[in-house]
Amino acid sequence: MLADTAPLRESPAFRRLWLSGVCSSFGGQMTTVAVLFQVWHSTGSAAWTGAIGLAQAVPLIAFGLFAGALADRLDRRRFYMACTVGQGACSALLATQALLGTFPVLLVLLVVAGQSLFGAGSGPTSRTFLPQLVRREHLGAALALNRIAFQGSMMVGPAIGGLV
């Protein structure tokens, strides 16, 4: 009934990857809520607010279809790092524009699309590292822990984003 946390205890590398994934997932969910609120507040338009979902979905679907193949052809670690840095840069841009309030909505949509594009590359690539980070008998537990973290961020992240 309880999750096997052996991979977190026994593999410092997996623990770092897992914790960074948890933080990234929570931050991504909080960002989505914040951007939706900001666009609704600045435009009052359901169409522009809905466009946020489209800006997230199109790059995720389009790039997600071949991101794994691209990661296989390149150095996975560097590809993952580039995608993670790209996500961070997009988050910094979104935070800056929220503080300054100077970006037009179309530019916010482009930054959200860029963040989704980088997420489409980093997500599948990070999962390829698990077999090298945990022992074979802990691989199932590591996959389960990743899923628990993802589901938890999907439930709790938007709530925290709404409160903030």
pLDDT value, residue 138: 92
Q: 25 — phi, psi (to 5°)? A: -65, -45
DSSP state of 122: H
Share of the chain above pLDDT 90, in %: 42
pTM for the model stands at 0.84
pLDDT in tens, 43-58: 999 999 999 999 999 9
- The pLDDT of residue 65: 83
pLDDT digits (tens, 9 = 90+) for 64-121: 888 888 888 888 889 999 999 999 999 999 989 888 877 789 999 999 999 999 999 9
d(CA 137, CA 122): 25
